[in-house]
Structure formats: structure tokens, C-alpha cells
Amino acid sequence: MTSGIRERLASAVQSVVGERLKQISEPLAPVLNDLRARYQKLEPREKILVQIAGSLLTVFLFYNLVYQPIVSMREGLETRIAARQRELVEVRRLSEVYAQLKLDLAAAEKRTVSPGKDFSLFSVVEGTLSKNVGRDKIGSITPADKRISNELMEYAVNVKLNDVSLAQLVDTLYEVKSLSVPVVVSNLNVKKRIQNPHSFDVDLTCSALGKNG
């Protein structure tokens, strides 16, 4: 890629040099012919002085009419090339971000509840708690579903457990994590009971992300 850019740059420079020389030589042709005729009539010493002056004038004209425009054009091309290279790097970065977002979206979809009218997080959590701590330990189970967007729904239940042991709490959390549906405990607050330091009152929120059917 770099060699191709250099070849195009060299070709552009040659084209500009040729065009510049052509633009300079064509209007000056009659004047140059007249100067040559006068030059031939000069004395040898005068010719040397004219040659020196002509050399200085040639250097001056070459610098201002050829060299300086080429340098400016080259700097402009290098600036444009550097800008395009930065754009290419940014495009590649955005492509990587897009690919990662696609992976994240696919992973998130796997953690969502399949759409269906029969799904009830309340029933799922109630059944798990009844099996692990018993209905008498369940203080309350309150649904707290909310729509996140037109496509997503957050199913949630707020649970209060009374007088449960540490083993029961650990078993309950494990069972919730092991459910066939992707349910997570998004909030957990454990308080030791004053009457019995080996039992606890627990407030927790179980939630699951699902697609609207």
C-alpha cells in the first residue's frame, strides 16, 4: 500500500514539473530568442557576467515556480494521506466495536426469557422458595415487572424471608442461580435476628429479562 502511494506521488510530481516547465517556456520563447541574439553580440567578459546573472535568475525562478509548488503539493498530499490513514484506523476500530457489540447482544439474548404468555417469574420463585425454606418462612412475594423498551420486559419479584438459617439462604440462592430460566438475584439484604443470632431476615429481588411476545 505504501509503495503504491509513493509511486502515485512520484508520478504526480513529474506531471507537475512538466506542466510548470511548459507553462514557463511557452510565453517566454520569443523573449528568449531575442536575448540569445543579443547575447551572441556581447564581449566574452560581458557573456560571463550574463551567464552568472542568468544562473542566479534560473535558480530563483526554479525555486519559486517549480520547487516551492512541488513542496507545497507534496506536503498537502502527505497531510491527506495521513488523514486517510487515521480514518482507516478509526474504521477498523469501529468494526471491532461493532463485532464485540454483536457478540454481547447474542450473549444477552441467551440470557433472556423466551417470549410467551405462560411465563411467570412469581410462580418460578415461589416454587423454589417453598421447596428450600418452606411457605411459613416466606413473608411476602411482590411482583415488580416493568417494560424496559418496546422489545424488552424486566420480570422481577421482591421477596421477604423471615427466620431462615444460613444454610437455607445459601441453598435458596444456589437454586435460583440453577433454574432453567435465566433468573438473577439483583438485590440482597440480610439482617441477623435479635432473638436468634443464627437465623436471618432476608430481603431479595429476583429478576429476569425477557422479550415482549
In contact, 203 and 146? CB cutoff 8 Å: no
Q: Which residue has the higher pLDDT, 152 or 94?
A: 94
Question: In CATH terms, is domain 121-211 a member of 3.30.70.60?
Answer: yes
pLDDT digit string, tens, across residues 4-14: 555 665 666 56
Q: Which residue has the higher pLDDT, 67 or 98?
A: 98
Give the domain ranges of the chain.
Answer: 2-109, 121-211
The pLDDT confidence band at residue 108, using thresholds 50, 70 and 90, is low
E strand map for the chain: 112-113, 138-143, 146-147, 152-165, 184-192, 199-211
Q: How many CB atoms lie within 10 A of CB 183?
A: 24
Which amino acid would we find at residue 145?
Answer: D
Mean pLDDT of the chain: 78
Greatest alpha-carbon span in the chain: 128
pLDDT digit string, tens, across residues 79-90: 888 888 899 999
Residue 26 confidence (pLDDT)? 67
Q: List, in sequence order, every residue forming a beta bridge with 191; answer none if it has no partner.
A: 201
pLDDT digit string, tens, across residues 152-166: 778 888 999 998 888
Q: Exposure of 159 by Cβ count < 10 A (0-12 exposed, 13-18 middle, 19+ buried)?
A: buried
Q: List, in sequence order, every residue forming a beta bridge with 155; answer none if it has no partner.
A: 208
